[in-house]
Amino acid sequence: MTGTAIVVGAGIGGLATAVGLRAAGWDVEVRERAPARPATGTSLGLWPGGLHALDALGLGDTARARSRAAADGRFVRADGALIGNVDMAALRRRTGDAVRVISRPALLGALSDALDDGVVRYGEPVPDVRALTSRYDVVVAADGLRSRARTVLFGDAHRPRYCGVTAWHGTADVDAPGMTETWGDSARFGVTPRAGGRANWFACVRAPERATPAGGELAALHRRFGGWHPGVREILDHLGEASVHRNDLYDLAVPLPAYVSGNIALVGDAAHAMTPDLGRGACEALADAVALTRRLTARTRVPEALTAYDATRRPATQRLARAARLLNRAVHTRLPVAPARDAAMRLFLTAGRPPA
């Protein structure tokens, strides 16, 4: 089946869906409320599933060239003692890929470059997706965490919910070939590799929503993490106030009962916003795009295709969202529970295997 589609939102899920549908012969346009494509942004983990979704879109090699592979992965305590290792070699044997890290602008650029000029129209918000349903065969709502489409279709009950944790993030001129996540008392600090021999970093603590720390963000980081192991302190020593960004973390207060409504399909954070604890947000948005494209091209009727998309993606992504929420709560637990938390993660890394 081919037809006409409009995508609301030019983030990862929206652009990926547009790329997939255009390649399958659909007439597609994208509307984005922001005035332009973002030139800055945090880095994203591409697990093998995300890379394979990009392969399906014809962009896997481009993403690999613009990203950096993580040589290894470790979880450690605040004093630097090892909790456990992520077996990247085993992951590569199982899936053909390990984990790569790419900046959001680089991934958005790769997706945008695959579309013809004029397909994406910036500075054009869509207040009500229902107004588009009679003009297009399919409407794709990909308008992110604070999705207007989700609220219009399903109501305020499915609004974003603050999970009780705030996150700082940025980049530093420190070479970090591997991924390290440090767990302390109700806090954590992560470092991942970045192209160009630099590092991405993030730090999370429990805090009131929209709190403003005394003395600024950098001072708050030094107060909370300045006594942690040398790997954390090295990152802090390379930061300036302007390089520190902060976002409170949210997921959906109530999971959606469906990812489709009529001829409208939700993808990415609009459908299943989750906390970043599993590092899967970008990967799942890409998987949504590929699944939706495949269902629409394999079926002869839009309702059947969207029903199949919902049946495929909703159970899987809502399981991941629950897992991310539980991990968020566990990681940010206080002493004396933290040793039991660390032991559970050590057992999982030894006997289990991460979702790819």
User: Does residue 352 carry a pLDDT above 80?
Assistant: no
Amino acid 40: pLDDT: 86
**CA gap 234, 206 in Å, rounded:** 23
Beta bridge partners of 139: 6, 264
Amino acid 130: pLDDT: 98
Tens digit of each residue's pLDDT (9 = 90 or more) over 269-279: 999 999 999 99
Contacts of 202 (CB under 8 A, 6+ apart): 42, 167, 168, 169, 189, 190
- More confidently predicted of 338 and 162: 162
Beta bridge partners of 6: 29, 139
CATH superfamily of 4-70+100-161+251-345: FAD/NAD(P)-binding domain (3.50.50.60)
Tens digit of each residue's pLDDT (9 = 90 or more) over 71-128: 999 999 999 999 999 999 889 999 999 899 999 999 999 999 999 999 999 999 999 9
Average pLDDT over residues 311-333: 95
Tens digit of each residue's pLDDT (9 = 90 or more) over 203-261: 999 999 999 999 999 999 999 999 999 999 999 999 999 999 999 999 999 999 999 99
Q: How many CB atoms lie within 10 A of CB 340?
A: 11
User: DSSP letters along 299-333, please?
Assistant: -SSHHHHHHHHHHHHHHHHHHHHHHHHHHHHHHTP
Picking from 247, 245, 238, the residue whose alpha carbon sits closest to that of residue 170 is: 245
Helices assigned H by DSSP within the chain: 12-23, 48-56, 60-66, 88-95, 104-113, 148-154, 217-225, 230-237, 269-272, 281-298, 302-331, 338-351
Stated as kind and residue range, the H or E segment containing 200 is: strand 198-206
Q: Are 17 and 7 spatial neighbours (Cβ–Cβ below 8 Å)?
A: yes
Question: Among 27-41, 114-128, 254-268, 323-337, which stretch is predicted with the lowest mean pLDDT?
Answer: 323-337
**CA gap 185, 121 in Å, rounded:** 46
Q: Are 279 and 166 spatial neighbours (Cβ–Cβ below 8 Å)?
A: no
Average pLDDT over residues 327-347: 87
Domain ranges across the chain: 4-70+100-161+251-345
- More confidently predicted of 226 and 337: 226
Tens digit of each residue's pLDDT (9 = 90 or more) over 171-204: 999 999 999 999 999 999 999 999 889 999 999 9
Tell me if residue 154 falls in helix, strand or coil.
helix
Q: How many CB atoms lie within 10 A of CB 304?
A: 14
Confidence of residue 44 (pLDDT cuts 50, 70, 90): very high
